Amino acid sequence: MQIFIYGLINSISLSLVALGFTLVYSISRIPNFAHGALYVATGYFAWILMNLFHFNYFISAILSVFLSCFIGAMIYRLVLIKIRGMEISEVIATYAIGLAIIEGLRWGGLRGATYTLPVIVPGSIEIFGVIVDYQRLFAVFVGLVIFLFFYIFIKFTKTGLALKGIAQDERAAMMLGIDSDKMAIVSFILGSAIAGISALIIFPLGNIVVEAGYNVLVFSIAVSIIGGLGSWLGAVIASFIIGYAQILTEVFLSTHYQMVIALLAIIITLLIRPSGLFGKQKELEERV
Amino acid sequence: MLEVTNLMVFYENMLAINNVTLTAKKGSIVGVFGSNSAGKSTLMYSISGIILDIKKKEAMKGGERITVFGKVIFDSKDITNLLPHERAKMGIVLCPERRRIFPESSVLENLKIGAYLDKRNEKKNLEYVLNIFPRLKDHLNRQGGFLSGGEQQMLAIGRALMASPSVLLLDEPLLGLSPYYQKIVVDSIKDIKATKNITVIVAEQYARPIIPVIDYGYIIENGSSVLEGTSESLLNNPDVKSAYFGV
Ligand SMILES: Nc1ncnc2c1ncn2[C@@H]1O[C@H](COP(=O)(O)OP(=O)(O)O)[C@@H](O)[C@H]1O
Ligand SMILES: [Mg+2]
């Protein structure tokens, strides 16, 4: 039961983090290797705003997410716009920016276990005999709200529909007047917002550490590859696979193996089914 | 009025469009005819600006070098260097070869995405599209990828109309269609001109069904415009007859 409940919670938070990565990829076809860096950076910004500038929690949270969106937009606007389409350069550039942010934070003092964000809803509850803290439930709740928000946004707004068009056929969307660069910026803003919001609800469960940036990145990539690059449904299902695998590893082996399992899962997927669970478009292209 | 003057397009060293000049008067239907690989799509891409996107992507990939010379002028503005979405905003909308329907979106969603540039008239345009293509009404919630070729072509034209174009470019709209659907598409072209006063430029390999509805036509061979004239003059030209009608 414990495995079931913690696996569920873990899977939902994981799919939230990976959603940001998948969203950016499905629209701009750029794998944003700075995704994890934005995650850590938002947590650290929020900490700085609260502890050094003494803003209250909500203002700090909102400002730090805005900052994350701004950095995400600038990464595209200043750098990626010039190299989009050169796949290797995209990876190198986003990875370098991510490294610079993460290592910059480390150099700037983000070391050790002194940095924590406050728990928004303290306390815990017993569900089917398993003790779960409210913060974890809150993470699940926020995750579901964000999924709902995106569903509505994509289905019913002009910009959302344009994003969906670009994701399916960029050139056909251009012919209808949709600006691909503008939509790529929108996707970076949304992806960074998701990275930031997940940081704010997941960091309170532990400490803000720079290593989390690498973890988030590796798990986001694992989820995207297993689910099929750019497939949203695939990403959610893959989050559940990885999410439960993480909890099972934690229970039966040790936390240290979680990363190994994620990387193994990437390798196995690439060997058996390179286009992932739901990468049907890509698979079709491969066949043609 | 839309004008293409002395257009040349090279794919690396291959000359795909050779010094083509073309004029489409406001509210007229212009045909561009030519066999496979004559250069019709390249011409359409040059008018809609997609060629610039192809060029940029090829350059990024380190692929072939694409060069464009000549001018595209729309309502006396030089639009040669405008990007496809900018030209669409001015009213030039391409309905591409092989339709390129958004396969995972429903028919209705395809049309809604098409309405990106003109949300104000979305309802009115939708009504018009469903009026000229009543068959789409029965499939509004079907996924675009699951439609038949004919239905996809109607959807592709409808989607382009949702953008309220002033110039509609149709690249091989009859490709692979049964005579039944060919007639629907040709009739829709007539209606688009008559009720909406939209300029239509239609590129086709099979001239026979289209020639009767055009005001003016061009015949391209190997990238060069070899003959041009009104519908009647092309119909009565013996060379055209043998080459394009198989008479
Ligand atoms: N991206 C491209 N790269 C190289 N050659 C191309 C490309 N697109 C078209 N061509 C060539 O240009 C010529 C014209 O092609 P196209 O405009 O597609 O003709 P059509 O639409 O009339 O069939 C053909 O010889 C074709 O092989
Ligand atoms: Mg063609």
A252-263 pLDDT, tens per residue?
888 888 888 889
Residue B179 has a CB neighbour count (10 Å cut-off) of 9
Can you tell me the ipTM of this complex? 0.96
Helix ranges, B106-171 (H): 107-114, 122-132, 149-161
Percent of chain A with pLDDT over 70: 97
- HSE-CB at B222 with a 13 A cutoff on CA atoms is 1
Tens of pLDDT, residues B121-177: 999 999 999 999 999 999 999 999 999 999 999 999 999 999 999 999 999 999 999
Q: Choosing among A80, A82, A171, A176, which should be mutated to test the B contact, i.e. which has the most B CBs within 10 A? A: A176
Give chain B's end-to-end CA distance (angstroms, integer): 34
Percent of chain A with pLDDT over 90: 67
pLDDT confidence bin for A273, thresholds 50/70/90: confident
| Cα angle for residues A26, A32, A35 (degrees, 5° grid) | 115
The answer to whether the CB of B201 falls within 8 A of the CB of B170 is: yes
Q: Counting ligands in written order, which one lies closest to the CA of residue B16?
A: 1
In the predicted model, what is the mean pLDDT of residues A241-264? 88
Task: Please indicate if any CB of chain A lies within 8 Å of the CB of B183.
Answer: no
Fold of A2-287: ABC transporter involved in vitamin B12 uptake, BtuC (1.10.3470)
Task: Please indicate if any CB of chain B lies within 8 Å of the CB of A169.
Answer: yes
**The residue count for chain B:** 247
pLDDT of residue A287: 42
pLDDT of residue A288: 39
pLDDT reading at A283 higher than 60: no
Distance separating alpha carbons of residues B220 and B18, to the nearest angstrom: 10
CA distance A232 to chain B (A): 12
Three-class SS of residue B59?
helix
Three-class SS of residue B83?
coil
pLDDT of residue A261: 86
pLDDT of residue A281: 52
Which residues of chain B make contact with A176, given a CB cutoff of 8 A?
A: 88, 93, 113-114, 116-117, 159-160, 162-163
Task: Please indicate if any CB of chain B lies within 8 Å of the CB of A48.
Answer: no
pLDDT of residue A96: 97
pLDDT of residue A25: 94
The answer, yes or no, to whether any atom of ligand 1 lies below 6 A from the CB of B13, is no
Tens of pLDDT, residues A132-148: 889 899 989 999 999 99
Three-class SS of residue B79?
coil
In the predicted model, what is the mean pLDDT of residues A110-136? 84
pLDDT confidence bin for B246, thresholds 50/70/90: low
Q: Give residue A198 CA to ligand 1 midpoint distance, Å.
A: 48
pLDDT of residue A254: 83
CA A283 to chain centroid, in Å, comes to: 24
Q: Choosing among B47, B113, B122, B126, which should be mutated to test the A contact, i.e. which has the most A CBs within 10 A? A: B113
Q: What are the boundaries of each domain within chain A? A: 2-287
In the predicted model, what is the mean pLDDT of residues B85-109? 97
pLDDT of residue B245: 63
Residues 6+ apart with CB under 8 A from A223: A14, A15, A18, A21, A22, A235, A238, A239, A242
Phi and psi at A164, nearest 5°, equal -65, -35
pLDDT reading at B212 higher than 80: yes
Which residues of chain B make contact with A83, given a CB cutoff of 8 A?
A: 60
Residues 6+ apart with CB under 8 A from A238: A18, A222, A223, A224, A225, A226, A227, A276, A277
pLDDT confidence bin for A251, thresholds 50/70/90: confident
Which residues of chain B make contact with A162, given a CB cutoff of 8 A?
A: 113, 116
Cβ of A169 within 8 Å of Cβ of B102? The answer is yes
Q: Counting ligands in written order, which one lies closest to the CA of residue B51?
A: 1
The answer to whether the CB of B213 falls within 8 A of the CB of B190 is: yes
CA distance B28 to chain A (A): 21
Distance separating alpha carbons of residues A134 and A137, to the nearest angstrom: 5
Residues 6+ apart with CB under 8 A from A26: A167, A187, A229, A230, A231, A232
Distance separating alpha carbons of residues A265 and A110, to the nearest angstrom: 31
Tens of pLDDT, residues B41-71: 999 999 999 999 999 999 999 999 999 999 9
Q: Could you tell me the CA-to-CA distances from A79 to A26, A66, A75, A76 in Å, in that order?
A: 19, 19, 6, 6
pLDDT confidence bin for B9, thresholds 50/70/90: very high
Cβ of A172 within 8 Å of Cβ of B109? The answer is no
Task: Please indicate if any CB of chain A lies within 8 Å of the CB of B117.
Answer: yes
pLDDT of residue A230: 81
Q: Which domain holds residue B56?
A: 2-245
Helix ranges, B133-230 (H): 149-161, 179-196
CATH of the domain at B236: 3.40.50.300
CA A193 to chain centroid, in Å, comes to: 9
Q: Could you tell me the CA-to-CA distances from B118 to A107, A153, A178, B142, B149 in Å, in that order?
A: 50, 19, 12, 24, 27
Distance separating alpha carbons of residues A136 and A254, to the nearest angstrom: 21
Q: Could you tell me the CA-to-CA distances from A160 to A276, B5, B109 in Å, in that order?
A: 25, 38, 11
Counting the structural domains of chain B, the total is 1
Angle between helix axes A180-202 and A158-168 (nearest 10 degrees) is: 110
